[in-house]
Structure 1
Amino acid sequence: MIRVSLAAATLLLASAPATAQSEQDALDARYNRALAAGYKALMLCGAIANAEANGTTRTPDSVAAWELTGIQAPMDGVVGELPFDIIRRPSGQIAHVAVKWAEDMPARIAAYYGPDTGCSILPIGAREDASNPGQSVPRKPALAAPANDGRPIKVMIRHQLEAVIGNALDGTAYGKGARTTAVIVLDEGTSAAEEYAPGFDASTPQRTFSVAKSIAATLVGAAVMAGEISVDDPINLNSWVGGGANEPRNAITIDHALRMATGRYSDTPGNRTDPLYYGGSSVNETATPWPVVYKPGTVFRYANNDTLLAIKAIGPWLDFYPPRELFAKIGMKHTVAETDWKGDYVLSSQVWSTARDLAAFGELYLNDGVTASGERILPEGWVKYVTTPSGPQPTTGTFGYGAGFWLMNKEEGVPPDTFTANGNRGQYVVIVPSRKVVIVRRGEDPVGARFDIAAFTRDVLAALPAD
């Protein structure tokens, strides 16, 4: 018989969880390193390749200083040290970006598939020849960034707005540590101000982050206009329908998804979706399987997966009418909706667009869904639909929520009909119908710094002549 003392037994029991925990810590650190490499690859690919497609340039140093600085933990402590290569085709066009992260694994790959769908991050472990077989060539020297002697580029600005825009660009107001890259103000369809930070210009695209959710709602509106769907239609994915009466997710409608009210579980507030965004999983793997934990339409839970679900619902329509066709009608000539590596649009975040294109997007909503050419591409009443807080509302903050848009209906000094498309790191498209004003603010705000868009909106409106 083997006898173990009580003290020894206690020591064994205590050490097992500690060992398991240390193994988990090591696994988490390895996974976070892989995610950081995916983040770096995708940001380098998206910023540089999409800029070059627009006829302008971004350098790796510029991307490191803006997109790769001040990012969320734990990637922020890793991303800077990871070596990378930009692989180009014989034509000079980027083929893919490779970022090394582990000696025993292939580099993380972000492949550029052209100006229609931009860059996609491949799964962890995918090899270089999986993205562009036979196309890789040695990395070319980076193109020089546009020279502007280190001062902001003033395209156009009225005197009354000088101080307001200047305070946003130099970081002296609207949020400590916030970093503004571009501001555009349209007043009754006329440019009142347009200014850029050094290294950015009218052709420079930036990732929209969650402004893409408002773009997604617009694509849904276009599908409604075409008679393809109704927002009251159940989503009914094939993977759900097979469950019949036992599948509670069949009760989820497109409206629920646009209003962040599907009732599905999400693992974190905001539902970060890192496996999809930077890990190389697919929309089908990441966004669709989550279970229902509340009755659809009863609880607000901001989640990337809900927007992705709404886009899945119009997937067959997008196969025939891809986003680039709608963008062209709106005048968004330098906007790219990117996809996962299997071809599904990641329209909760992964869109690259210029400040001018987002101003055109705002104008579409000022004009009730009618383009500058006079074509109606959104149903009559769509603006009222997306700005009506008819679903459950956020329990924190001062902004309300409509269908894919945030509402400034509680902000003192701001017209109550003001609504916005908001994105991470300080992306904003503010639409003020009663004043016929659109305000675009682009930024690369670090974690912990928040640009005060409500205060900025108040100051811009105060500087503009009222009717």
Structure 2
Amino acid sequence: MLKSACFYPLAALPLLMASNLSLAAEETDTTLAAYAAGYVAGFTCSATFNGNKDAAAIREYELGGIYPLIAERVAQLEAEVNSEQRWVRVNYDNGKRSRYSVWRPKLGCVDLPVGASLDNFPHVANPFAGDKAAQQDHGGPWQEQPTPLKPSQQSALANVVDRAFSKHYGRGARTSAVLIATPEHLLAERYLEGMTPATAQRTWSVAKSIGASVIGAAVQQLLIEVDEPAALENWSHPADPRAAISLENLLHMASGLDSNAAGNRTDRVYMGGGLVSDTATESALEVAPGTRWKYANNDTLLALRTLRERFATLDAYLRFPFESLLDKLGMQHTYLETDWQGDFILSSQVWTTARDLARLGVLHLNNGRWQGEQLLPTNWLNYISTPAAAQPPEGAPGYGAQWWLYNERFPELPNDTIAARGNRGQFLVIIPSRNLVIVRRGYDLAGEPGFNEHDFTRDILKALDSASQL
């Protein structure tokens, strides 16, 4: 059953969401070299085969402007791309070692572990082998829908979008896409030169909110309940206090688990070829579940691991998000990437488009209903929008179930505004009272003020309101 649930100053948000910005590295030089090679292999693979980007764009945007932990090492590495077999190899350590990333339909690229070769790939699950990727975006649900905006509104909105593609909303901002929509109409849509509505980009932590939606689909199908214990096999010993952690604790970022000083440090999974089952499930409790809010990638990874252990087979689990949610929404250019043992890395590693994110937003505006079918519980929007018991500090957005809340703490926005947010300026903002979805994608520069989505959202609303009164 669903239970009642619900930041830091805006300038501090990149430190919460970006991996590796806040701590000096403790890894050995050998590990950092493997991380850098894995980063280049993984991002080159995903950007090439998920996003159809060329080498120059990948070097500038995917591999440029990144956090400093591995930036210098990344700049010195070259990727070998096999377009026919869809894999990428990066040699490092003077050519003595290699990292591999291999593409799979729907699941995107999987990073093989350090020491693995292409001979190991046939042992990686590939349930959609043979599926063909869509080339163009189908345009729904907005196809052939004329805009309801007056010319003055269109002009005012265009001015805001113009500013979004400048440095107006942040010195380090590099916008790649903006989309503003209602369930019926695309009000505004613009892309960086070279990108199209079918160009997928990594979501980073926007993936967390996508993951919550997958769990919502499982709740709708009575496969799981949010208030039941996570009951992971790794926590099944009768002396293990982690048995008290519920799925809801994980969705609320309130597991109480030790996630080091910065809970967003999951480098071994993100670029080291590590496993969710080797990292996230091994942490010990620090505090009682539900008593502390702490932004932690592992909480999201564990929430999805909880869902996985409800399935009889890995194949059924890997198919579930697509067959129960994404395919039904027409999210044709969305790739949910996994580790090499099949755990979704839904804390960060999703590649998708602005339109696909907007479709997910519209589903929430429609209270989980799509083309006559109830995909999410009817009260799921209310659930994810309700403040959790343990909250981030005052002066920053609140937190619900894997969604940020712009509630009474931010009077310039409607009290029901929620957002999915990710590193380098990825934002999906939903405002139910205005029947509005706002998407901004970017490649913001590490170490510089990023895109301010609060001010952008405020200015969109002002443009629509002021122009409508002319």
State the distance in 2 between where 1:83 and 1:443 align. 24
CA shift, 1:391, in A, is 2.3
Say whether residues 1:37 and 2:32 are aligned partners.
no
Q: Superposed, which structure 2 residues align to 1:30-429 within 5 Å?
A: 30-51=30-51, 57-89=52-84, 94-103=85-94, 105-113=96-104, 115-131=105-121, 158-169=154-165, 171-187=166-182, 189-241=184-236, 243-244=237-238, 246-315=239-308, 316-317=310-311, 319-320=315-316, 321-325=319-323, 326-371=325-370, 373-395=371-393, 397-409=395-407, 410-429=409-428
User: How many residues get paired?
Assistant: 409
Of structures 1 and 2, the one with the larger relative CO (CA 8 A, separation 6+) is 2
2:140 aligned partner: none
Cα pair 1:106 1:127 within 8 Å, conserved: no
Q: TM-score, normalised by structure 1?
A: 0.84
Cα pair 2:203 2:422 within 8 Å, conserved: yes
- Alignment-mate amino acid for residue 119 of structure 1: C
SS of aligned partner of 2:101: strand
Cα pair 2:183 2:365 within 8 Å, conserved: no
Q: Percent identity over the alignment?
A: 43
Cα pair 2:80 2:89 within 8 Å, conserved: yes
State the distance in 2 between where 1:73 and 1:128 align. 30
State the distance in 2 between where 1:422 and 1:83 align. 30
CA shift, 1:464, in A, is 1.5
State the distance in 1 between where 2:26 and 2:327 align. 47
When Rg is computed on C-alpha atoms for both structures, the one with the higher figure is 1
Per-residue CA deviations over 1:6-57 (Å, capped at 9, x if unaligned) read xxxxxxxxxxxxxxxxxxx997222112101101110010011113xxxxx3
Cα pair 1:95 1:132 within 8 Å, conserved: no
Cα pair 1:96 1:131 within 8 Å, conserved: no
Cα pair 2:88 2:101 within 8 Å, conserved: yes
CA shift, 1:188, in A, is 5.1
C-alpha RMSD of matched pairs (Å): 2.1
State the distance in 1 between where 2:459 and 2:376 align. 31
- Alignment-mate amino acid for residue 250 of structure 1: A
CA shift, 1:350, in A, is 0.6
State the distance in 1 between where 2:98 and 2:410 align. 47
SS of aligned partner of 2:45: helix
Cα pair 2:183 2:362 within 8 Å, conserved: no
**Segments of 4+ moved more than 6 angstroms:** none
Cα pair 2:172 2:446 within 8 Å, conserved: no
Cα pair 1:308 1:347 within 8 Å, conserved: yes
State the distance in 2 between where 1:310 and 1:108 align. 28
- Alignment-mate amino acid for residue 322 of structure 1: F
State the distance in 1 between where 2:394 and 2:192 align. 32
CA shift, 1:189, in A, is 2.8
1:458 aligned partner: 458
State the distance in 1 between where 2:266 and 2:422 align. 15
Cα pair 1:340 1:346 within 8 Å, conserved: yes
Per-residue CA deviations over 1:364-419 (Å, capped at 9, x if unaligned) read 11111111x12111112111110000320112651100001000112131001000
Provide structure 2 residue ranges, at least 5 long, that are not aligned to the other structure.
1-24, 124-146
Cα pair 2:182 2:362 within 8 Å, conserved: no
Cα pair 1:189 1:363 within 8 Å, conserved: no
Per-residue CA deviations over 1:126-148 (Å, capped at 9, x if unaligned) read 12332369xxxxxxxxxxxxxxx
State the distance in 1 between where 2:281 and 2:90 align. 29
State the distance in 2 between where 1:310 and 1:80 align. 35
The change in CA–CA distance for 1:400 and 1:26 in structure 2 (over 3 A counts) is closer
SS of aligned partner of 2:445: coil
Cα pair 2:44 2:79 within 8 Å, conserved: no
Cα pair 2:211 2:304 within 8 Å, conserved: yes
SS of aligned partner of 1:284: helix
State the distance in 2 between where 1:188 and 1:41 align. 38
Cα pair 1:189 1:436 within 8 Å, conserved: no
State the distance in 1 between where 2:394 and 2:97 align. 43
